[in-house]
Amino acid sequence: MTPPTLFWFRRDLRLADHPGLVAAIARGGPVIPVFILDPQTETLGAAPRWRLGEGVASFARSLEALGSRLILRRGDAARVLAALAAETGATAVHWSRLCDPVSKARDAGVKAQLRDRGLEAVSHPGHLLFEPWTVQTGQGGFYRVYTPYWRAVRDRDPGDCLPAPARLPAPDAWPASDSLSDWALGAAMRRGADIVAAHARIGEDAARARLDAFLEQGIAGYSDLRDRLDLPGTSKLGENLSLGEVSVRACWHAARAAMERGAPGAETFLQEIVWRDFAHHLVHHTPHITERNWREEWDGFPWAGESEHATRWKRGLTGEPVIDAAMREMYVTGTMHNRARMLVASYLTKHLMTDWRVGLKWFEDCLIDWDPASNAMGWQWAAGSGPDAAPFFRIFNPATQAEKFDPKSVYRRTWVAELSRQPGKDALDYFRAVPESWAMTPSAPYPKPLVDLKKGRERALDAYHAHRDRS
Ligand code: FAD
């Protein structure tokens, strides 16, 4: 009889279209699903860590419905896997590849240590449409700019989606498992968890339902409405894609089928899905994008670090309604509209002249759809320091952007209680979610703007020109 295979789940919490799981089952023996709270996972920000816990709980239930289990263990991943292999007699460990630098370094170490012990250690695709090294320029290099990347992949075939297994062969005896509640993955969310939970759609079934609803009601209007802050024009699949509760390949095929049916927004949706792959392509080839200015010439730019202004930005107290609305939306829902992300990032890095890493870190703590590649690419794009970035001199004016994308002030009033005579639940939930130490109440007067928009813009441009002349 074939000995057991350990399958190490990370950001691939699904059964359908799972190439790694299919390969593990094909080995023929029992498959033991494992999730590890390793030191890397321990450092996740508050919201993604909470969301991960919910995703793991849901996935464990899906496995149980198949007669399987999710074994939870805490500790160094290589040591945990080696110990589990010894306990269960497993001879192989399989997992789905990730390409952010922290995961890559960990996984390379795990692979080497397991192989040293004579175990089969195999990584699989599944997190992306196309593995980053398989998309090459004519010269054999990697892409730095999105449009040619898109042209290179748009007619490629990512392969057919794989069906979910009908059953997972179980071992004769299950190894012991930690209890998820003992891990308290939501502890750092404090008062916010219940509030964010009302907005999250957790697990594979919820992800699929969300995709189906978007295909039915959203995709046709996607290109026209995706920038509107006041309308539900996007899929909201980010949180599910981030944990692999739906495969990006399933989204690709759904968008392709919609294109064939003539749905007008389908190609735009496909392009956005490909932005996600592009972010991972960049992270794989230039891992410094997550930590340092992608363009070295930005080193030495006089960005400020943490400050009173940055704190007011984080708390939605800049006095600029669309910025505050977006920051509060993120605190209450764990997500933020894409256009709003662009606006708050531009405002922080340009009007407040604050280092993009201050914003990147705050998003890392607050987003349930946090993704190391998309977050880094988004911040460096907004700051102007990235590969395919908005030029620094193109500074969004939050007021005119708000008029264009929130013409009746619906978004701003939904999230900023101080702007309404009778604030709604979402606006008030913000005050229930934030730490009491922030001492925020909806009856406090709305603050005056932190900076005059025109002066802030001029200050940023002056600093930019001075920096360019110096370097
Ligand atoms: P839709 O518009 O419905 O798009 C479908 C999917 O395509 C998304 O779920 C996402 O997976 C992908 N996608 C869409 N736009 C982008 C994009 N610009 N870059 C990469 N992928 C994209 N996205 C994250 O998933 N995690 C992050 O941590 C993240 N941080 C960001 C930070 C900044 C400063 C900026 C400007 C953007 C960031 N994005 C991030 C990208 C984008 O804002 C979100 O993917 C999008 O808002 C998610 O909402 P949705 O699922 O409704 O998107």
Summarised one tens digit per residue, pLDDT across range 267-296 is 999 999 999 999 999 999 999 999 999 999
Query: Pick from 176, 203, 236: which is nearest to 52 by CA?
Result: 203
Give yes or no for residue 242 CB within 6 A of ligand 1: yes
The minimum-distance atom of ligand 1 relative to the CA of 364 is 28
The fraction of the chain above a pLDDT of 70, given in percent, is: 100
Whose structure tokens read 């589990």? 84
**pLDDT at residue 470, as a whole number:** 85
Distance 375 CA to ligand 1 centre (A): 8
Query: Pick from 338, 337, 292, 346: which is nearest to 318 by CA?
Result: 346
Q: What phi and psi values does residue 121 have, to the nearest 5 degrees?
A: -125, 115
| Mean pLDDT, residues 368-386 taken together | 97
Task: Tell me the pLDDT band of 388, cut-offs 50, 70 and 90.
Answer: confident
The minimum-distance atom of ligand 1 relative to the CA of 242 is 25
Query: Pick from 287, 267, 268, 202: which is nearest to 237 by CA?
Result: 202
Q: How far is Cα 88 from Cα 104, in angstroms, rounded to an integer?
A: 26
Residue nearest to atom 17 of ligand 1 (CA): 275
Distance 113 CA to ligand 1 centre (A): 35
| Mean pLDDT, residues 406-413 taken together | 98
Q: Taking 80 as the threshold, does the pLDDT of residue 389 lie above it?
A: no
DSSP code, position 304: B
Neighbours of 456 (CB within 10 A): 20
Q: Indicate the top mutation candidate among 215, 338, 350 to test ligand 1's pocket, ranked by most ligand atoms within 8 A of CB.
A: 338
Distance in angstroms between the alpha carbons of the first and the last residue of the chain: 67
Task: Tell me the pLDDT band of 471, cut-offs 50, 70 and 90.
Answer: confident
Residue nearest to atom 52 of ligand 1 (CA): 236
Quote the mean pLDDT of the chain: 97
- Coil/strand/helix, residue 201: coil
| Mean pLDDT, residues 156-161 taken together | 98
Distance 120 CA to ligand 1 centre (A): 36
Give the tens place of pLDDT for each residue, 35-72. Answer: 999 999 999 999 999 999 999 999 999 999 999 999 99
**Annotated binding site for FAD, which residues?**
222, 269, 369-371
ipTM of the complex: 0.99
Distance 227 CA to ligand 1 centre (A): 12
Q: How far is Cα 61 from Cα 74, in angstroms, rounded to an integer?
A: 20
Q: What is the pTM of this model?
A: 0.98
Distance 338 CA to ligand 1 centre (A): 6
Give yes or no for residue 45 CB within 6 A of ligand 1: no
Query: Per-residue b/e over 327-355, b at no fewer than 16 CB within 10 Å?
Result: bbbbbbbbbbbbbbbbbbbbbbbbbbbbb
Q: Indicate the top mutation candidate among 369, 385, 396 to test ligand 1's pocket, ranked by most ligand atoms within 8 A of CB.
A: 369
Give the tens place of pLDDT for each residue, 185-199. Answer: 999 998 889 999 999
- State the Cα torsion 131-365-180-40 to the nearest 10°: 50
Give yes or no for residue 271 CB within 6 A of ligand 1: no
**pLDDT at residue 431, as a whole number:** 97
C-beta of residue 324 within 8 angstroms of C-beta of residue 318: yes
CA separation, residue 22 to residues 32, 259, 399 (Å): 13, 29, 51
Q: Indicate the top mutation candidate among 129, 270, 272 to test ligand 1's pocket, ranked by most ligand atoms within 8 A of CB.
A: 272
